Amino acid sequence: NSTSENNFPELKNIKGIKHIIAISSGKGGVGKSTIAVNIACSLAKLGLKTGLLDADIYGPNTPSMLGVTEENPKVTDGSGNDQRLIPINKYGISLVSMGFLIEEGQPVIWRGPMLNSIIKQFLYQVEWNNLDFLVIDLPPGTGDAQISLSQSVPISGAIVVTTPQKVSLQDARRGLAMFKQLGVPLLGVVENMSVFIPPDMPNKKYEIFGKGGGKILAGENNLPLLAQIPIEIELVNDSNKGVPISISEPDKESSIRFKELAQLIK
Ligand code: ADP
């Protein structure tokens, strides 16, 4: 137990939640949210009770990826600390996102302590009910949110998402090093946008963003490369329509990879 080796605050389990999986990346735009959403949907499809906490406070995209931007989560009866936020249910997952709480287009300019308290509220003041898995979509980088979260709850495993580009490795390395320092167990690396498969030429593969990034990162850290997700046009389209690809097109290559990932995590 790494918490006893370091002088970290005692980690408090969230009642009813069996496992917490954190999805992280060194920088934005690598597909971290896409992967978090599709892992959550794939876990739910395996019959597991799954929640998704969108802690990407600077760019909370999961409500639009799940087509629930118009929803407003309700709170339970009661007052003060007894009140709990009720997650929005979609595609079998329970979602709580910063996106429900801020106005669209407004910047998030919170300082560390406020961030810390909102993350705690998202963990402890939400009616998560019983979950097999809570998937957390972290903000990119190595800031206050990641540290708050790692020091608040026992994360069963973190996944670091990177693209194959060697230049993006630098940021991903920093992310991995942070989790190690915080004593968070690492599940492995997911390489996103590995190859492009043209829809009209399903046997062709183009390495648009170079190759090898995921393998290098995993190898340096003695971690498994858990999956390589191709670039697929449907992945963008479906996400824009508010339906994750693993729900709308389960036979696409990326959906198959997400399903395999869910089976590995399970
Ligand atoms: P992040 O959370 O890392 O900022 P997103 O998940 O928001 O990244 O993805 C950024 C953009 O790239 C989105 O428009 C998303 O639809 C697209 N995208 C992510 N992964 C893929 C992929 N494998 N194939 C095609 N488009 C992708």
Q: What is the pLDDT of residues 222-260, one digit of tens each?
A: 999 999 999 998 888 877 889 999 999 999 999 999 999
> Which of 30, 33, 34 to mutate to test ligand 1, by most ligand atoms within 8 A of the CB atom?
34
Q: What angle do CA 258, 144, 105 make, to 5 degrees?
A: 70
Banded model confidence at residue 159, pLDDT cuts 50, 70, 90: very high
235 CA → ligand 1 middle, Å: 8
**pLDDT above 70 coverage of the chain, percent:** 92
For tokens 């300019």, name the residue: 109
pLDDT at 135: 97
Residues within a 6 A CB radius of ligand 1: 25, 28-34, 61, 192-193, 229, 231-232, 235-236, 239, 254
Rounded distance, CA 40 to CA 44, Å?
Answer: 6
Atom of ligand 1 nearest to the CA of 254: 23
Contact 247, 91 (CB under 8 A): yes
Nearest CA to ligand 1 atom 4: 29
Q: Which atom of ligand 1 is nearest to the CA of 56?
A: 2
pTM, 2 dp: 0.92
Mean pLDDT across 191-205:
90
pLDDT at 109: 66
> Quick one: pLDDT at residue 203?
87
Element containing residue 119 per DSSP (H, E): helix 112-124
Q: Which domain holds residue 129?
A: 2-265
CA 35 to ligand 1 centroid distance, Å = 8
Three-state secondary structure of the chain = CHHHHCCCCCCCCCCCEEEEEEEEECCCCCCHHHHHHHHHHHHHHCCCCEEEEECCCCCCCHHHHCCCCCCCCCECCCCHHHCCECCEEECCEEEEEHHHCCCCCCCCCCCHHHHHHHHHHHHHCECCCCEEEEEEECCCCCCHHHHHHHHHCCCCEEEEEECCCHHHHHHHHHHHHHHHHHCCCEEEEEEEEEEECCCCCCCCCECCCCCCHHHHHHHHCCCCEEEEEEECHHHHHHHHHCCCHHHHCCCCHHHHHHHHHHHHHC
Q: How far apart are the first and last CA of the chain?
A: 21
Query: What pLDDT does 115 receive?
Result: 75
As for the ipTM of the complex, it is 0.99
Mean pLDDT confidence for 188-199? 93
The 10s digit of each residue's pLDDT in 9-57 is 566 788 889 999 999 999 999 999 999 999 999 999 999 999 999 998 7
Quote the pLDDT of residue 193.
96
pLDDT at position 93, please?
97
- Condensed to tens digits (0 to 9), the pLDDT of residues 96-136 reads 998 887 777 666 666 667 777 888 888 888 999 999 999 99
Count of domains forming the chain? 1
**Domain of 117: which CATH number?**
3.40.50.300
Ligand 1 atom with the shortest distance to the CA of 236: 16
Q: What is the token pair recorded at 113?
A: 């302590």
User: Confidence band (pLDDT; 50, 70, 90) for 198?
Assistant: confident
Question: Which residues sit in the known binding site for ATP?
Answer: 26-33
The pLDDT value given to residue 59: 80
Residue 7 has pLDDT above 50, yes or no: no
The confidence score (pLDDT) of residue 230 equals 95
The predicted structure's pLDDT at residue 2: 40
Contact (Cβ atoms closer than 8 angstroms) between residue 58 and residue 100 = no
